């Protein structure tokens, strides 16, 4: 046995007592543990509040960015509608063709002829009376008849026509001449030529009619579209996003406008358009 004598038991008891005392002295007090727990709890509470503040700031910033994005989209859509409206107004504001002016010359009215003077009676000269002869029988000689009044016709009066008019007898009915319109002085409206937009893959008769309502009637109109114009056009036509770019309307319009029908048929006619 290890412990057989009383001295060994006394030494063992002393060692145990010394270890217990050493442990008691080195162990922290309950107040110290409470203080450390309180400090850790306060530190965790401060960190939690800081994290909550950062999270709320991030949510507020995200909401502001979303509102700014919606405002930019609304401004972009409004600008596209304004551009399309201006194009339609410019196409509709072209003045119509002026009617040709017909010039009808008025007939020339000859001047009224001066009235002829009424003829005046011309009295023949008086014939001297001869003395009455007394007949042998004592009769009264016959009385001579009074001289007869002879009326002569007046000489004809010649009326000379004025330089700018014709006599009434020689005037002929004036012909109504229609003046031909002068093409140089008439501002005629030449309508904008329309292209067959249905030749472009992805455009049918219904889409062509709707494009015509928006003022897009030529290949050149589609060729000049930008990326923003394509997005606005898709919104106006209720097309899927990216439909115009996938169907390559602008390259097709450029080939057809340049007259490269063979290249267009080789690249685009062999494939079917994407479904709406």
Read off the pLDDT of residues 159-194 as tens digits, 9 standing for 90 and up.
454 444 444 444 444 443 444 444 444 444 445 678
Most confident of 27-31, 133-137, 188-192: 27-31
- Residue 183's pLDDT is 43
What pLDDT was estimated at residue 98? 56
Interacting residues of 223 by C-beta distance below 8 A, sequence separation 6+: 250, 253, 254, 257
- 74-117 pLDDT per residue, tens: 999 999 999 998 988 888 886 655 555 555 555 555 555 555 55
Tokens 């114009």 — which residue?
A: 229
Helix (H) or strand (E) holding 127: none
For the chain, what percent of residues have pLDDT higher than 70? 61
pLDDT score, position 171:
42
In angstroms, what is the C-alpha Rg of the chain?
64
Please give the residue that has the higher pLDDT: either 274 or 147.
Answer: 274
pLDDT at 34: 84
33-37, 49-53, 228-232: range with lowest mean pLDDT: 33-37
Q: Which residue has the higher pLDDT, 268 or 133?
A: 268
Give the integer Cα–Cα distance in Å for 79 and 8: 104
- Residue 232: CA count within 13 A, CB half-sphere: 20
Work out the burial of residue 181: count CB atoms within 10 Å of its CB; fewer than 13 is exposed, 13-18 middle, 19 or more buried. Answer: middle
Residue predicted with more confidence, 99 or 9: 9
Task: Determine the average pLDDT of the residues in 119-146.
Answer: 48
Residue-level length of the chain: 276
**Helix axis angle, 227-237 to 30-92, nearest 10°:** 80
Mean pLDDT is lowest, of 73-82, 146-155, 176-185, 231-240, for 176-185
Residue showing tokens 């992805």? 202
> How far is Cα 81 from Cα 231, in angstroms, rounded to an integer?
12
Q: Which residues contact 210 (CB under 8 A, 6 or more apart)?
A: 237
Is 161 in a helix, a strand, or coil?
A: coil
């Amino acid at each position: 046995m290890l412990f057989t004598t009383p001295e060994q038991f006394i030494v063992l008891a002393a060692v145990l007592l010394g270890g217990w005392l050493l442990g008691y002295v080195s162990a922290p007090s309950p107040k110290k543990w409470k203080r450390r727990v309180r400090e850790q709890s306060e530190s965790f509470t401060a960190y939690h509040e800081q994290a909550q503040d950062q999270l709320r700031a991030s949510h507020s910033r995200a909401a502001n960015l979303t509102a700014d994005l919606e405002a930019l989209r609304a401004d972009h859509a409004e600008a596209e509608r304004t551009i399309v409206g201006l194009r339609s107004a410019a196409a509709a504001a072209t003045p119509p063709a002026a009617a040709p002016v017909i010039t009808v010359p008025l007939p020339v009215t000859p001047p009224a002829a001066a009235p002829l003077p009424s003829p005046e009676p011309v009295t023949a000269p008086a014939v001297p009376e001869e003395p009455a002869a007394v007949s042998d029988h004592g009769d009264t000689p016959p009385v001579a008849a009074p001289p007869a009044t002879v009326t002569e016709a007046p000489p004809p009066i010649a009326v000379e026509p004025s330089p700018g008019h014709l006599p009434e007898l020689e005037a002929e009915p004036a012909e109504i001449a229609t003046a031909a319109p002068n093409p140089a002085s008439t501002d005629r409206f030449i309508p904008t030529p329309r292209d067959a937009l249905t030749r472009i893959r992805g455009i049918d008769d219904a889409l062509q009619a709707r494009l015509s309502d928006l003022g897009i009637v030529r290949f050149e109109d589609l060729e000049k579209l930008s990326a923003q114009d394509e997005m606005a056009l898709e919104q106006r036509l209720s097309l899927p996003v990216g439909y115009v770019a996938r169907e390559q309307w602008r390259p097709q319009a450029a080939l057809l406008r340049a007259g490269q029908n063979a290249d267009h048929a080789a690249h685009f006619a062999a494939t079917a358009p994407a479904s709406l």
